[in-house]
């Protein structure tokens, strides 16, 4: 509770206020004429409630050397001060309704802005949503910070992936031989530009394989002849040497044509058992001769077809193929063709040795069967091994030729733009895996996880706040409309909810006036012109009261209301009193500032309990001699009494104390009695009659006219009028202010006047 305003210096008209002797109670009413500092005092309360020094600084007294200084005393004598442009502490229990509240939360100049709706939502949600708002605000700030970091990292990465989305750039695979591929594609581009020349180049051809029929060789080795004399060659050779004739063998061969196989053509003797004759038949047999001829050529054939020369020939062919391949190297990367001559030579040498050994055996005995199946298989295996080495080389030549044909075919269909795209992709792959890019993506990935996490937290916080806002605003709308109905307003709010447009949460609502929607901004009908000033203040006050009454900590609040009935009609002023009384019963303290003393009097009557236990402080901000305002006690009853009651009080006090100004009392007698007569005979005395004329009118009236009952008092009243009329210019022109007042005489006429009013008689 605010107990005292000890001191205020240098704040607007509150240039030097000393309220140490003025104690505030649960109900504190402060009266001030307009322009006496009510708004300044309310703004001071708002300033300390939120700790905003600017609200004090901007109201510094213009023509004073005093720096703004405030000393307030709260419960248990706790002091709160404003000095050196700062509050010693803020007092959040203070809740203030004033022009600042309206301009901040409801409208400014008839316009309702998004800022108004944002502030109104914050006020409406109150303490119940503090944690939810703080959680949403923190989550939003964290999410913004995390996403800002993402943007920074994204901006740093932007220079590495022109023309490619960051997400696509991140997914690019690493290409280990990117530089080689780039060089190859660049060569293809150059080649595509020179395709006419390239197409004239020859392609490498396979080398012809050597021919060797192992089967034919073994066919000779395996050849035998029937009826062949063993050692025939040896026997015939020995006999020819014995003859020692040069042409002996020719002569013997010619004689074979005369041999019938039984008798000698020379002597007729039987030759069937002669070994020499049998040897002649074998030696000079044609088939035998042919066989010997074939056998004699075996060794030469082996040297020709299984000698080193076949390797030289094949190797020369491989060299020719490599020479052709080398002409393509500048445009198309090809490996040279290899030939494993050592491996081929080893197998060939082993084959040659095997075949020569068999040939020598055959030469020694041409008619014998030489070379079995195992030797044949071995020879075939060795020859196949030799050919295998050559075939491997030919495969390389064939592959190179096919690759070159495909290359030249591709050159015809080559698209330079596509090749440039491929180079760009390869360059992107290189950049993607540069150390600094890898580091940036590592940071980006972590930041993305953080941002996603904060976005989820933000969404949950917003969902929680949205649920709270929906629940609170639904009730808020009902409460406001109930208040508007009691205030007699012919407009209502509708569709009240909240959203996050613009980033921060703000309220949304509409107004309906006589069944028509009223636009808060623009349009027609619109808020600025459709609602009167009283309507706008009623709406603002309803917003404030609905929120304040729903505050779960209302019993701890000090509620300050500045001019609640400004621009309000009688009905709204009446319900304002009802609302303030309701607030008074629920808050720790209610402070009301008003410029209407009658409203202050009525509120005082509302707050005072019948048992007299309630204590309500009533003060006023009054103009001092220097034009500033001072805070002092206020006699609201005296201020609000009617002329009749005031005159009655003056006469009574003069009779009791004689302390009042005697001339003022003398002037009060006649209007006092006029008031009495009009109240005694309401409506029966014509308006506008002076007191003497009233007496004449009453004297003329007869019963049953009510005024005729005044006849017994006319003489007494006339005497009093004669005395009092001396002090009025209407009956004593020019001399009224010079007539001397005798206190004893005056007191007597005051008593006589009161006697008539109190008893209705002259004595």
pLDDT at position 763 is 74
- Which residue bears the tokens 């094949």? 314
Give the SS3 label for residue 565: coil
Pairwise CA distance, residues 94 & 44, whole Å:
11
Transcribe 421-453 into DSSP letters. Answer: HHHHHHHHHHHHTSHHHHHHHHHHHHHHHHHHH
46: burial class by Cβ within 10 Å (0-12, 13-18, 19+)? buried
Three-state secondary structure call for residue 283: helix
At 7, which helix (H) or strand (E)? Answer: strand 2-11
Q: Decide if 57 contacts 85 (C-beta within 8 A).
A: yes
* Whole-angstrom distance, CA of residue 133 vs CA of residue 139: 10
Write out the two tokens for 410.
């591709």
Q: Is the pTM of this model over 0.75?
A: no
Burial call 353-389: b when 16+ CB within 10 Å, e when fewer: ebbeebbeebeeebbeebbeeebbeebeebbebbbeb
* pLDDT for 507: 60
- What are the C-alpha distances in Å from 244 to residues 247, 250, 254? 9, 13, 17
Three-state SS string across 302-367, please? HHHHCCHHHHHHHHHHHHHHHHHHHCCCCCCCCCCCCCCHHHHHHHHHHHHHHHHHHHHHHHHCCC
Task: Identify the pLDDT of residue 613.
Answer: 67
**What is the DSSP annotation of 513-561?**
ETTEEEBSSSSSSBHHHHS-HHHHHHHHHHHHHHHHHT-TTGGG-EEEE
Query: What count of residues does the chain have?
Result: 763
Nearest to 545 by CA among 505, 599, 603, 486: 486
Q: How far apart are CA 15 and CA 623, in angstroms?
A: 11
Beta carbons of 429 and 178 less than 8 angstroms apart: yes
pLDDT at 194: 75
The closest of 718, 676, 729 to 696, measured between CA atoms, is 718
3-state secondary structure of 46: helix
DSSP 710: G
Strand ranges, E, within 383-501: 491-499
Low-confidence ranges of the chain (pLDDT < 70): 107-134, 191, 225-233, 248-262, 265-266, 268, 271-287, 289, 414, 465, 468-474, 495-510, 519-529, 565-571, 610-613
81 strand-pairing partners: 71
The radius of gyration of the chain's CA atoms, rounded to the nearest angstrom, is: 67
Decide: 747 and 658 in contact? Cβ < 8 Å: yes
Closest listed residue to residue 167, CA positions, set 185, 150, 143, 192: 150
CA distance 259 to 336: 69
DSSP calls for 219-264: HHHT---TTPPTTHHHHHHHHHHHHT-TTHHHHHHHHGGG--SSB-
Partnered with residue 661 across adjacent β-strands are none
In 3D space, the residue among 278, 291, 273, 264 whose CA is nearest the CA of residue 234 turns out to be 278
């Amino acid at each position: 509770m605010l107990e005292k305003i000890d001191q205020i210096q240098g704040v607007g008209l509150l240039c030097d206020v000393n309220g140490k002797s003025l104690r505030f109670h649960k109900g504190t009413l402060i009266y001030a004429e307009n322009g006496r500092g009510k708004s300044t005092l309310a703004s001071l309360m708002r300033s300390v409630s939120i700790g905003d020094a600017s609200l004090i600084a901007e109201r510094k007294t213009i023509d004073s050397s005093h720096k703004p200084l405030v000393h307030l005393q709260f419960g248990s004598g706790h002091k709160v001060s404003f000095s050196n442009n700062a509050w010693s502490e803020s007092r959040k229990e203070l809740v203030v309704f004033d022009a600042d509240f309206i301009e901040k939360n409801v409208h400014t100049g008839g316009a309702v802005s998004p800022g108004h709706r944002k502030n109104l939502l914050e006020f409406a949600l109150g303490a119940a949503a503090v944690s939810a708002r703080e959680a949403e605000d923190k989550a939003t700030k964290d999410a913004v910070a995390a996403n800002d970091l993402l943007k920074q990292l994204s901006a740093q990465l932007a220079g590495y992936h022109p023309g490619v989305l960051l997400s696509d750039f991140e997914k690019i695979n690493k290409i280990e031989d990117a530089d080689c591929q780039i060089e190859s594609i660049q060569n293809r581009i150059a080649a595509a530009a020179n395709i006419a020349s390239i197409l004239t180049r020859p392609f490498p051809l396979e080398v012809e394989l050597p021919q060797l029929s192992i089967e034919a060789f073994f066919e000779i080795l395996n050849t035998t002849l029937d009826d062949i004399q063993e050692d025939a060659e040896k026997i015939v050779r020995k006999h020819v040497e014995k003859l020692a004739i040069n042409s002996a063998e020719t002569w013997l061969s010619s004689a074979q044509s005369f041999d019938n196989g039984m008798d000698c053509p020379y002597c007729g003797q039987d030759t069937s058992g002669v070994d020499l004759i049998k040897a002649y038949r074998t030696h000079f047999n044609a088939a035998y001769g042919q066989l010997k001829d074939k056998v004699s050529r075996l060794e030469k054939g082996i040297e020709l077809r299984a000698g080193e020369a076949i390797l030289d020939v094949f190797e020369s062919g491989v060299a020719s193929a490599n020479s052709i391949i080398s002409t393509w190297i500048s445009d198309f990367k090809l490996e040279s063709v290899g030939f494993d001559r050592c491996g081929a030579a080893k197998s060939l040498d082993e084959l040659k040795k095997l075949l020569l050994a068999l040939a020598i055996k055959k030469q020694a005995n041409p008619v014998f069967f030489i070379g079995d199946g195992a030797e044949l298989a071995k020879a075939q295996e060795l020859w196949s091994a030799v050919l295998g080495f050559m075939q491997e080389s030919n495969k390389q030549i064939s592959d190179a030729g096919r690759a070159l044909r495909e290359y030249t075919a591709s050159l015809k269909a080559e698209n330079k733009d596509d090749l440039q795209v491929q180079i760009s992709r390869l360059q992107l792959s290189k950049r993607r895996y540069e150390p600094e890019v890898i580091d940036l993506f590592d940071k980006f990935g972590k930041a993305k996880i953080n941002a996603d996490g904060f976005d989820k937290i933000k969404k949950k916080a917003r969902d929680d706040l949205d649920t709270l806002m929906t629940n609170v605003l639904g009730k808020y709308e009902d409460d406001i409309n109930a208040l508007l109905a009691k205030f007699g307003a012919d407009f209502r709010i509708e569709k009240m909810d909240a959203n996050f447009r613009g980033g921060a949460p703000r309220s949304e609502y509409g107004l309906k006036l006589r069944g028509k929607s009223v636009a808060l901004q623009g349009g027609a009908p619109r808020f600025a012109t459709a609602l009167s000033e009283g309507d706008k203040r009623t709406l603002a006050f309803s917003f404030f009261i609905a929120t304040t009454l729903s505050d779960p900590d209302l019993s701890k609040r000090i509620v300050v209301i500045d001019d609640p009935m400004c621009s309000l009609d009688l009905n709204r002023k009446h319900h304002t009193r009802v609302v303030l009384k309701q607030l008074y019963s629920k808050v720790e303290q209610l402070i009301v500032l008003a410029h209407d003393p009658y409203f202050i009097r009525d509120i005082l009557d509302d707050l005072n309990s019948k048992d007299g236990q309630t204590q309500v402080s009533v003060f006023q901000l009054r103009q001092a001699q220097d034009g500033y305002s001072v805070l002092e006690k206020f006699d609201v009853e005296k201020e609000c009494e009617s002329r009749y009651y005031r005159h009655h009080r003056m006469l009574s006090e003069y009779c009791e104390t004689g302390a009042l100004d005697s001339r003022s009392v003398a002037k009060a007698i006649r209007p006092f009695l006029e008031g009495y007569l009009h109240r005694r005979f309401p409506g029966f005395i014509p308006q506008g009659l002076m007191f003497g004329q009233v007496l004449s009118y009453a004297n003329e009236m007869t019963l049953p006219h009510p005024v005729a009952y005044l006849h017994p008092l006319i003489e007494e009243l006339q005497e009093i009028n004669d005395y009092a009329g001396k002090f009025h210019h209407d009956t004593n022109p020019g001399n009224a202010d010079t007539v001397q007042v005798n206190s004893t005489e005056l007191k007597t006429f005051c008593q006589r006047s009161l006697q008539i009013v109190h008893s209705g008689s002259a004595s």
